[in-house]
Amino acid sequence: MTEFIHEPVLLEEALSALQPAAGLLYVDGTVGGGGHAEAILSASGPDGRLVGFDRDDWALAAAARRLKQFGDRLELYREPFAGLAKRLGKASCDGVLLDLGVSSPQLDEAERGFSFQVEGPLDMRMDRRQPVSAAQLVNELEAGELATIFWELGGERRSRRIARAIVEQRDMQRIETTTQLADTVERACPRRGARTHPATGVFQALRMAVNDELGQVQAGLDAAWSVLKLGGRLAVITFHSGEDRLVKQFSRRLAKPYTVRGEVDVPELREPREPLARELSRKAIKPSDAEVGRNPRSRSAQMRAMEKL
């Protein structure tokens, strides 16, 4: 295994949203290599505490090494963040951070099967105790189910054509590796000078399906909100438009001075109430040009942050 080095994205922006301070309690739902966690613990010294979650044992081991110096100010759990409320009391925390997706070392490690750029088993599980891998989805789902995943999670316009090509290929031989899948997609949709690899959307979609990433975000937002104190802050960094949409809908709904009786927000169905959240900025915060220059993987990042009222 390579060394676990991940450059935290939107670090200054996340700190300015969370405003870590001594004596307070923070949650990092996606502790990864521990970059954000380290900054939060440093800024909340000498006695701020942090509870960190990650589904990936490799990431968690790297975080434990990096954060050793903080001793019992830190607690780590190998669990999905959707369940974080089981570990923390209602209204007990001052800030929660979710930095979604996967980290650079996970992407670069061939064995994990997240990337079409390196040959490896078609795995993509963040938690390797989980039974279903990408190879199972690719070899066992119906063409229609695959096309839906590619379209809905990868925004892939040629989803049906790609799904058909996968089914034809696997009828001859099971697709077991990242490169077999990438080659199958490329044969169905030749590159023709495009800058991005034609399998980009397919890989993203499969990863999100294998790890139920949208389901985690939905449940994780509710869980994070329930553990926050009044005045506590939630910051969420996303790398996918579907995830950002969920976060935006969540904060907009809480920030409204009314609830809606029914599905559609029309004035006749509104019932006034005090807003439950304040959006720290109306628009999503994006990395500066300097950050994108330093760390090109940050280019699709967006952060939304809100305060519990």
Ligand X SMILES: C[S@@+](CC[C@H](N)C(=O)[O-])C[C@H]1O[C@@H](n2cnc3c(N)ncnc32)[C@H](O)[C@@H]1O
Nearer to ligand X, 93 or 126 (CB): 126
Nearer to ligand X, 185 or 247 (CB): 247
The neighbour count for residue 76, using CB atoms within 10 Å, is 19
Instruction: Give the count of residues interacting with ligand X (CB under 6 A).
Output: 22
Least CB distance to ligand X at residue 261 (A): 32
The neighbour count for residue 46, using CB atoms within 10 Å, is 7
Least CB distance to ligand X at residue 98 (A): 8
How far is it, in rounded angstroms, from Cα 183 to Cα 198? 9
Nearer to ligand X, 85 or 175 (CB): 85
Contact 116, 199 (CB under 8 A): yes
Residue type, 182: A
Q: Which of 13, 94, 99, 244 binds ligand X (CB under 6 A)?
A: 99
Q: Which of 24, 26, 30, 95 binds ligand X (CB under 6 A)?
A: 30
| DSSP symbols for 82-131 | GGGGGTS-TT-EEEEEEE-S--HHHHH-GGG---TTS--BS---SSTTSS
Least CB distance to ligand X at residue 183 (A): 27
Q: Which of 10, 24, 36, 225 binds ligand X (CB under 6 A)?
A: 36
How far is it, in rounded angstroms, from Cα 20 to Cα 24? 7
Q: Which of 17, 52, 53, 199 binds ligand X (CB under 6 A)?
A: 53
- Catalog residues that contact ligand X under the rule CB under 6 A: 6, 8, 30, 32-36, 53-56, 59, 80-82, 99, 101-103, 126, 216
